[in-house]
Structure 1
């Protein structure tokens, strides 16, 4: 039986005790809700309205609108789908769902697999780009994403059918009262898919169920009780390496993924003090089966538990101090190896929140059961030069302990050291996203050391190959990612809007003596552009066009296999019949572009979808 501990610590806060009635509210900056304009970091929020405008169950269609993000997927929907921020690997981006850390301790980097998500249960997606390890800890070296599930004030649902015989159904119901609000949402996706292997002919299908719910009850004007839960179950057909050639091709392999998570908590809010305490669990089970290859059968189990406290104290002279801390337990099993780890942390962040100047600085202390203590620091600032024009700057350090998989699996290396990073950024923004005119530009650099990579004993030799004949994880040394993000959104008329996001990232292996020194990191395109144009006609018809241009990249660390650049275009339309019924449809990849995200894996050609949405 665990003895659950809560450490006092801090997170960034606003000096004003009350939140704005309008405008975006964010939580990734501090762990507590605050107006977006008071957070000096680079944060983007995508709302439910935009998610429905984009259409479809595939969450990656929405994520392409976020600056500085890349994603990889091993084949069709249901394949492992990972997001990277500003050139960082997926394991360095913390993903929260309703505030619950959702990374899987049984995966290589402890990353979150986006394949377990569908847009039908999502109300908003909030992404903080850049490190926020002072508040969130080790996995926040690259960024923090918080996904909030839906609470409808009524009922709604949708059904969609299209390419690869994909059927998508969503439903949501809820109520919002003065003291109590609660909602439940669910989605179902079933598709025949296409071959995961680019050279294959057999379709690889996918079926997924997803349900989420959350509630809040206001006991008094100051005290509220909160709870949320989520369950996802999916089964995906996979391809593999069948005999006699043992090259990537069609197989009858499958993988099942089941994940559940939940959190209970209490929120206390007065004019000068805010507290948010909670206990969260995430539990996952991944099972792979290959009838042609018994060695392809596997079971991975991961579980994490977290007791946490976030707090905020308003101080005189427009200062604020945030306090809180956390204790984490994680465990991993794969049928052969198993292990556990614990980490306790406290953090403090002091901020000044003036009318034009916001400055914050903080420190965090982590104590890991295997790697001892570690201090990290961070600072952020923004200054309103003239009305709506803000100059931003930030510095942050990161610390990430090796995952249990990297330490204890059949490829594990107990001698691994934690990854560390130092990040810098400076930017300029005008207004806020959603305003008639919005523009932002940010330049950044992140230097990392003791990065963890995989050493293959099939292509090299090292002493550890004697006990790890297939390979092992090791610290490769230094790496750098630097780049530029730009976003411009314009409302040309009350019914015509456009948005363009451009991201440039240059990554480099800077490890002295490494054979890959000077090479780019794998699957990090240098250039990415996402553009959208939307028009709402006077007769209830809405039309939209999306364009995604991705530059070339390397598929491997040795930079020997090139991934060519590509451009994808989507056409969208919707028609509101009345206040209850809306028809919608789209054509994805209208030019039937052949492209590659991950070497050897297939991608979707042209596909059309049509659906209906109901509200009450």
Structure 2
């Protein structure tokens, strides 16, 4: 239970600050500080300013990540409207993102534009956020709404692009050491600089967490870097690469976790990921630009799943051991022409080749069957695509974006995905955006090839989405408000056939159509130079057409408040209150179906001792709220950690 004094403190503090800030900004006569319009590279075929971007976009900067002293990607994304992030118990459990109510595998997640989604995994291609660490992140761009026009398959609900830190002309070296409860330890080394005409950046990080909750373990090493070279100001070459290796242990999905699991053995996942990419940008003239990029993503995962019992002696899911190997090659060429100051046209071609396989065994003898079964499969897929996008400004304060993409995936019919959007500046401080787009997702290799539940006749899943956003600035941008209504339709959604399941025959089919709609709200106010107050809230409604069932792990309401306090130039304090409504979930050992609502408080304080040294402390779940994000998977209680950072450079 949340301590009521803390809740009352937050309530009184927020409204006191809100009233006081209103009086303060009305009385202020200072000239506004000019803030440059950020450039967004994820939402369109060519970079576009945020005010003209044809989609609902959130940018999380490096400054915000440092203020939070985040040690994992999931905690960073939890402050974004429209996104719910869950963790299956402690750090070792699977962590997933649900964007505007879509399944986790409906969101494309990338590092420097290189997709991380693996269609050979058991989760249909969703990304486990727990193994993604923040030391290399420069900023994160979140695009809400179908984005297949830019990326093809997998961006049915939206896309998240993690943009890493690049090299710079002056040298910068940074080392961080952290420690804390539950055997937590983390160390990072980062170097940035230049060698003649080449800018470079590189980092190494090691993270370890012992048992936060029963059976939970986490160990991760991450190393990566960037190189950039510019020739004659018209040719730019950038390279990026990353290697990640993780060893995680937790109760398996569906088991009921540390509270409900009958079998107390845990699942082990050993994962290796490698990515490398090169992008060449050539400015042919003042109006013509072309870009060529090529990248590779490779992932190997060894899984040892002990199975799930539904009674003391009966397995519902058999013990399983397997290894997956997946590789993806992507080639992209884009040509952009600025015909006039008010019209830009981009087009190009993309080729994707995917190769995935799995080898392993399901222990069906645990189910009383006479023999075990291999769960092997091997799949390849080639998908060529072409696209065209127009950005037109018929008036000085109006931007119209439209585009069309055609994908021709191997063994499937061609997919056509359009988008049309408009951005209007109604008043100097009032902006309105509206967009309509479509998306698709090819069936995963696991869904097509799994010997037990796979179905080679599956069709692609589809999405249609539209939204309207109002962005309002007040009092010289000291108050900024965003309000968005969204509506998505996901059709041909892949799930187990419920009729066959009653006969103990399990097969995936294109089963249902899902409607999700709701409201996203975000408010940021700067009442004083030393104080920033942020509020965010999402209302989400979901409906499976023709069924009374509910979607798992999608609360109707979630949001929170963030206070960033800087009493002087050396000290920064960040406090966050996050609240999540109740949600539906099912776990094999129990008839419970409702995960209770909860809210928690986190606090971070960072002190810059001098120009080179910083120390910080962070407390998570300070009020020690006992809560779960999956039934039975108990979340850690109060958790403290601390760190020391040294930074030197030119």
TM-score normalised over the length of structure 2: 0.84
Question: Is residue 322 from structure 1 mapped to residue 334 from structure 2 by the alignment?
Answer: no
1:237 aligns with 2:249: yes
Equivalent residue number for residue 116 of structure 1: 131
1:382 aligned onto 2:396 = no
Instruction: Tell me which residue corresponds to 2:366.
Output: none
Q: CA deviation at 1:102?
A: 1.4
Residues 130 and 371 of structure 1: CA distance in aligned 2, closer, same or farther (over 3 Å): same
From 543, 556, 561, the counterpart of 1:508: 543
Instruction: Give the equivalent residue in structure 2 for 1:479.
Output: 514
Q: Does 1:70 align with 2:84?
A: yes
Using a 3 Å threshold, how does the CA distance of structure 1 residues 292 and 429 change in structure 2: closer, same or farther?
A: closer
2:68 to 51, 54, 65: 54
| 587-596 or 106-115, larger mean C-alpha shift | 106-115
CA contact (8 A) 1:424 1:445 kept: yes
Contact 2:92/2:216 (CA < 8 Å) preserved in 1? no
Distance 1:43 1:177 in 2: 35
> Do the aligned residues in 2 keep the contact of 1:522 with 1:557 (CA within 8 Å)?
no
- Would the aligned equivalents of 2:307 and 2:319 in 1 still touch at CA under 8 Å? no
Which structure is larger by alpha-carbon Rg, 1 or 2? 2
1:84-108 CA deviation, whole Å, 9 max, x = no partner? Answer: 1100111111111011111112123
CA offset digits 1:553-587 (Å, max 9, x no partner):
10149996011100010121111111111111021
**1:382-441: per-residue Cα shift (whole Å, max 9, x none)?**
100001210111001112221111111122111211111211111100259x95321100
1:535-546 correspondence runs (5 A): 535-538=565-568, 540-546=570-576
Q: Which of 369-378 and 291-300 deviates more?
A: 291-300
Report what 1:567 is aligned to. 599
1:129 aligns with 2:144: yes
Residue 614 of structure 1: aligned partner: 646
1:346 maps to 2:386: yes
Counterpart CA distance in 2 for 1:392 and 1:55 is 33
Classify the secondary structure of the residue corresponding to 1:405: helix
Post-superposition offset of 1:281:
0.9
Match of 2:496 among 438, 454, 459: 454
Does the alignment pair 1:580 with 2:595?
no
Of residues 504, 509, 526 in structure 1, which corresponds to 2:556? 526
Q: Please, which moves more after superposition, 214-223 or 286-295? A: 286-295
Tell me how far apart the structure 2 counterparts of residues 169 and 536 of structure 1 sit (CA, whole Å).
Answer: 26
* Shift in Å, 1:545: 1.0
* CA gap 1:401/1:113 in 2 versus in 1, 3 angstroms: same
DSSP-derived class of the 1:378 partner: strand
Is 1:40 matched with 2:54?
A: yes
Pairs within 5 Å for 1:88-167: 88-107=102-121, 108-151=123-166, 153=168, 154-167=172-185
Aligned Cα root-mean-square deviation (Å): 2.4
Q: Distance in 2 between matches of 1:589 and 1:479?
A: 34
Matched, 1:601 2:613: no
Question: How many angstroms apart in 2 are the aligned matches of 1:479 and 1:155?
Answer: 49
Q: C-alpha displacement at 1:317, in angstroms? A: 5.6
Q: How many residues align?
A: 575
Deviation at 1:173, TM superposition (A): 0.6
Deviations 1:508-531 (A, max 9, x none): 100x3xxxx143311111101121
1:209-608 matches, cutoff 5 A? 209-240=221-252, 247-251=261-265, 253-269=267-283, 270-289=285-304, 295-316=319-340, 318-335=342-359, 336-353=376-393, 354-410=395-451, 411-431=453-473, 435-455=477-497, 459-461=501-503, 469=505, 471-510=506-545, 512=546, 517-538=547-568, 540-556=570-586, 561-608=593-640
What TM-score do you get using the length of structure 1 for normalisation? Answer: 0.89
User: Which piece of structure 1 moves more, 481-490 or 295-304?
Assistant: 295-304
Structure 1 match to 2:30 = none
Gaps of 5+ in 2: 1-33, 309-317, 360-375
**CA separation in 2, counterparts of 1:317 and 1:538?**
44
Q: Which moved more, 1:305-314 or 1:480-489?
A: 305-314
Task: Single out whichever of 482-491 and 310-319 deviates more from structure 2.
Answer: 310-319
